[in-house]
Amino acid sequence: MLLAMSDASESGHGTQTEQAPGEQAARRFGWSDMFVHPDDDPREEGEDLPGERATLVRYLRDQRLTLEMKCSGLDAAAMACRSVEPSNLSLLGLVRHLAGVEQYWFRQVMAGQEGPRLYRPDTDPDGDFDGAVPDPAVVAEAWERWRAEVAFAERLVAEAPDLDITGDYDYGEPYEPGSISLREVLVHMIEEYARHNGHADFLRERIDGRVGQ
């Protein structure tokens, strides 16, 4: 189970807000400015792991934890703060987007469950980012949905007989439908989080100058 490291952003207490227009956040780096002391870092990098499944699961868990750490201590306004025009990227948008990605690959593709894609109706394929507004209720709901999808994914992977099981996907026109193994889904999810955590690095630095980890 992932740690609830973003609780401060949901409650709105003890938080950091975005810089005023025209202000430049001071760039900071040092052990004292990191999200947690290295000795308390919940990620488990560097440990030997018993096999392929444990390795993939651990690397994906660490990427998920990194997203939570990058969002920790922020209020709704900071979570919804966008990067630079014309981009609609925000930390809240990333949480909503990744909730939908978790849902699609694990719940819909691998488990075969049907239902609408989170935050991405057919009429608004960018709804995950466009709907990331500075509302504490929207932030809290995004974290709740994300954690629910992560918990589902963790159970599915833990209970799978092996990593060779497959699921069917269909992106629609102009793409051809296909099948994918659980192994490849896990690798893809690590890649997906690594890419978006890079976005989160820059978004967080713009908000309050915090870098690292």
Report all structural domains of the chain as residue ranges with CATH numbers, in order of start: 20-208 (1.20.120.450)
Return the number of other C-beta atoms located less than 10 Å from residue 30's C-beta.
Answer: 8
Which residue shows structure tokens 């890419």?
A: 195
Q: Specify the range with the lowest mean pLDDT, choosing from 33-37, 69-73, 207-211.
A: 33-37
pLDDT at residue 5 tops 60: no
Q: Is the peptide bond before 177 cis (omega within 30 degrees of 0)?
A: no
Residue 123's alpha-carbon distances to 90, 119, 127, in angstroms, are: 21, 11, 9
**Average pLDDT of the residues in 77-105:** 96
Query: Is a pLDDT exceeding 70 seen at residue 64?
Result: yes
Cα angle 41, 70, 213 (rounded to 5 degrees) comes to 45
- Over its C-alpha atoms, the chain yields an Rg (Å, rounded) of 18
pLDDT band at 46 (very low <50, low <70, confident <90, very high): low
pLDDT in tens, 141-168: 999 999 999 999 999 999 999 999 999 9
Predicted confidence at residue 199, as pLDDT, reads 95
